[in-house]
Structure 1
């Protein structure tokens, strides 16, 4: 019995030292499809399960998507886009945000909306020598999004976007 407890304590300590957290049998990664944000912002958005998979698709130099699945069921879907400075990404995403439920303005980046099951965040940046906007849309696609409580889920989404947006901008070469 004490050997089992020591093993659990050791495993938890190693996970803390490695900068990860786990949900049942999988380890929450420090990077989301190549963007290093740490596991803490992503962990609350993921359901329990046994196996986590990530899939990245680069559509072109300015656009990419990332799908995170747990036990072969999509849980989180993220899109990153560099757009023209004149584009209003929140207006472009109006229908998607409405579908996600009750979008509200949030203090993330230069503009953001957090909804019940997703959100969008915008950062103004310099990309390839010109002024642009970087847009991240996160959609909790799980049938039962987590955290269970809507207020907690919205708070977790805002925390995730706050951590993810600047790192994703940097990864795409979009400088603040």
Structure 2
């Protein structure tokens, strides 16, 4: 009886080890354009979960054309990433909005990203303000929100770094497309 328990324990341990060490499967192709902005796919991949199907939708929802957009990326029909853009002429307190606004980012911190006047990054997303004078508004506000399935897989420091790396590459194209066009 003791031998049977030992064999069963070893077999179970083997299954658990192989299940835990399996690499996540990314069976989808990431679009070359993320929310209408061309970017190196390797920079967004760390923000997306493993899965089989990549789907992206972009829509304009502003009361004035070309002032408000939302982009959703879904993996296997689950929201993995959401980026919303708002052109505004009002002054917005980005640090306060990051902490207390509708996003309620967890422990946001200031970060310096070229092309932004203010940027806050947290483990669950980011909030940025970029000068956007060419369309008569003052700022382009960008909200990035990660899907819930990406919030516990990495340390806060690692996740913040991945978001920051993505945004450093993404923001110049965003400003060119949404403000300079």
- Tell me if both proteins adopt one fold, taking TM over 0.5 as the criterion: yes
- Structure 1: gaps of 5 or more residues: 1-22
> After the TM superposition, which residues 111-122 of structure 1 pair with which residues of structure 2 at under 5 Å, given as runs?
111-122=118-129
Give the C-alpha shift of residue 81 in structure 1: 1.2
TM-score normalized with structure 1 length: 0.76
1:145 is aligned to 2:147 = no
Structure 1 counterpart of 2:43: 41
Secondary structure of the residue that 1:143 maps to in structure 2?
helix
Within 5 Å, give how 1:1-12 maps onto structure 2: none
> Which consecutive unaligned segments of at least 5 residues does structure 2 have?
1-24
Contact 2:35–2:83 (CA<8 Å) still a contact in 1?
no
* CA RMSD between the two structures: 2.3
Question: How far, CA to CA, are the matches of 2:97 and 2:105 in structure 1?
Answer: 14
Pairs aligned (count): 152
Matched, 1:73 2:78: yes
2:141 to 124, 132, 135: 135
What is the CA distance between 1:138 and its match in structure 2? 0.3
Shift of 1:160: 1.4
Matches within 5 A, 1:163-174: 163-172=169-178, 174=179
Compared CA separation, residues 48 and 146, structure 1 to 2 (3 A): farther
Matching of residues 7-86 of structure 1 within 5 Å: 24-60=26-62, 61-84=66-89, 86=90
Between structure 1 and structure 2, the one with the greater Rg is: 2
Partner of 2:168: 162
| 1:127 CA drift (Å) | 2.5
Q: Deviations over 1:117-165 (max 9, x none)?
A: 100122112222x351111110002333375222111001111122222
